């Protein structure tokens, strides 16, 4: 299956690099594409557990799905993730 998730706090290529690297660490994912302009992540996955893991990984990295709670702590995580992505 293939899907697109629209996320919050996606600002630049550093963010995209971090997201791509984190998602490729998960099993059963392929063809990960992060679109900074649309603030979206598109990928192929095998089952609903994989989709759940992607959402949790994004949230834990500071990039919750649009409509999810986005507090100061989550935004701060996204800045750290962004910096790590820029250094990668």
Q: Looking at residue 56, which CATH number applies to its domain? A: 3.30.70.100
The Cα–Cα gap between 73 and 51 comes to 23
- Report the number of distinct structural domains present in the chain: 1
**84 compared with 67, residue with greater pLDDT:** 67
Q: Give percent of the chain above pLDDT 90.
A: 86
Contact between residue 41 and residue 19 where contact means Cβ atoms under 8 Å apart:
yes
* pLDDT class of 52 with cuts at 50, 70, 90: very high
Does the pLDDT at position 16 exceed 90?
Answer: yes
Which residues pair with residue 41 across a beta bridge? 5, 34
Q: What is the mean pLDDT of the chain?
A: 95
Segments forming the whole domain that contains residue 45: 2-87
Q: Is the whole model's pTM more than 0.85, yes or no? A: yes
């Amino acid at each position: 299956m293939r899907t697109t998730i629209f996320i919050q706090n996606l600002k630049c290529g550093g963010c995209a690099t971090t997201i791509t690297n984190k998602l490729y660490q998960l099993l059963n994912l392929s063809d990960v594409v992060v679109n900074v302009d649309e603030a979206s992540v598109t990928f192929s996955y095998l089952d609903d557990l994989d989709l759940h893991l992607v959402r949790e990984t994004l949230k834990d990295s500071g990039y919750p799905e649009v409509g999810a709670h986005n507090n100061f702590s989550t935004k701060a995580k996204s800045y750290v993730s962004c910096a790590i992505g820029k250094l990668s």
